[in-house]
C-alpha cells in the first residue's frame, strides 16, 4: 500500500514539474528571441547602402560674396551620401584660391558652381581681384564668370573715355543689393586685372562711374 502511494506521488510530481526536454525548449526559444532582438538593433543602427557617409567641404564661417577662399575658411564634414548636393567639393584644395560667386553660411557645402576663378588670372600671382560697380546695372545681366571685358571710364580732363584695364576676366557677378532707397544703382562685379593696374581701377571705382565693354 505504501509503495502504491509513493508511485502515485511520483506520477503527480512528474505532471507538475516539467521534464528536462521541455526546459531545454524554453531556453532555446528565449535564446533565439534574444538573438533576433539583437539583430534588429544592429540593422536599425547600420546606415543604408545609399546613405553612406562621405566627406564634403563646407564653409568654416560665414563668407561674403566675392571673397577669395583660403584654407582657414574651409572645413571637411561627413554627410550622408544621399543628402550631398550635386557638384559638392570633397577636398579643400579644390576651393582654395577661388572666389565665391555668392555668400555662404557657416556649415554650408561648397559646390563647383558657387566658386569662380579656377584657371583664370585670379589664381595668377601677377593678378589681383578688384570689385567694380557698374554704372548701368542691366549690363551685369550680360556677364558671367569667364567673360572678358574692357573697363572704361570718362575721367580724362577732356571727357574722352579712357580704358583702365583691357581684356579683364570677370570672376563673379555679385547679387543685387537693396538699400534704404531701393535697389542700388549699380551691380558689383569682381574682375581679375594685372597687379600694376589694380590700384588704378580700384581708385576709379570709388571716384567715378565705370562701364565695361564685352569682348
Residue carrying C-alpha cell 531545454: 24
pLDDT digits (tens, 9 = 90+) for 107-142: 999 988 777 655 444 556 677 778 888 878 788 888
DSSP H stretches of helix in 1-76: 2-16, 20-45
Q: Is the pLDDT of residue 49 over 50?
A: no
At 84-106, the pLDDT tens digits run 888 888 888 888 888 776 678 89
* Grid cell of 120 as nine digits: 583664370
Query: Does pLDDT of 182 surpass 50?
Result: no
Number of neighbours of residue 35 by Cβ within 10 angstroms: 10
How far is the first Cα of the chain from the last one, in angstroms, to the nearest whole number? 124
- Least Cα distance to 58 among 10, 24, 107 occurs for 107
Written as nine digits, the cell of 134 is 557698374
Nine-digit cell at 69?
577662399
59-63, 87-91, 182-186: least confident range: 182-186
- Rounded Cα distance, 188 and 66, in Å: 9
CA distances from 189 to 55, 149, 151, 168, 178 (A): 32, 11, 11, 11, 16
CA distances from 61 to 73, 103, 189 (A): 6, 11, 23
Report how far residue 131's alpha carbon sits from residue 140's, in angstroms, rounded to the nearest whole number. 13
**Max CA distance (Å), the chain:** 142
**Does the pLDDT of residue 184 top 60, yes or no?**
no
> pTM of the full predicted structure?
0.48
Average pLDDT, rounded, for the chain: 74
pLDDT of residue 76: 92
- 92 or 7, greater pLDDT: 92
Amino acid at each position: 500500500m505504501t509503495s502504491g502511494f509513493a508511485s502515485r506521488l511520483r506520477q503527480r510530481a512528474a505532471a507538475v514539474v516539467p521534464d528536462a526536454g521541455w526546459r531545454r525548449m524554453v531556453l532555446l526559444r528565449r535564446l533565439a528571441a534574444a538573438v533576433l532582438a539583437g539583430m534588429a538593433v544592429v540593422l536599425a543602427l547600420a546606415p543604408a547602402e545609399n546613405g553612406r557617409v562621405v566627406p564634403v567641404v563646407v564653409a568654416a564661417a560665414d563668407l561674403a560674396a566675392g571673397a577669395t577662399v583660403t584654407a582657414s575658411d574651409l572645413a571637411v564634414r561627413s554627410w550622408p551620401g544621399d543628402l550631398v548636393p550635386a557638384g559638392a567639393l570633397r577636398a579643400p584644395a579644390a576651393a582654395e584660391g577661388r572666389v565665391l560667386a555668392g555668400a555662404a553660411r557657416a556649415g554650408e557645402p561648397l559646390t563647383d558652381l558657387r566658386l569662380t576663378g579656377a584657371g583664370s588670372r585670379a589664381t595668377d600671382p601677377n593678378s589681383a581681384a578688384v570689385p567694380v560697380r557698374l554704372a548701368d546695372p542691366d549690363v551685369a545681366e550680360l556677364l558671367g564668370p569667364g567673360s572678358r571685358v574692357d573697363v572704361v571710364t570718362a575721367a580724362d580732363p577732356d571727357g574722352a573715355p579712357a580704358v583702365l584695364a583691357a581684356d579683364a576676366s570677370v570672376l563673379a557677378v555679385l547679387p543685387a543689393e537693396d538699400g534704404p532707397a531701393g535697389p542700388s544703382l549699380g551691380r558689383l562685379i569682381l574682375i581679375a586685372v594685372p597687379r600694376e593696374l589694380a590700384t588704378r581701377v580700384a581708385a576709379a571705382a570709388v571716384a567715378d562711374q565705370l562701364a565695361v565693354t564685352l569682348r
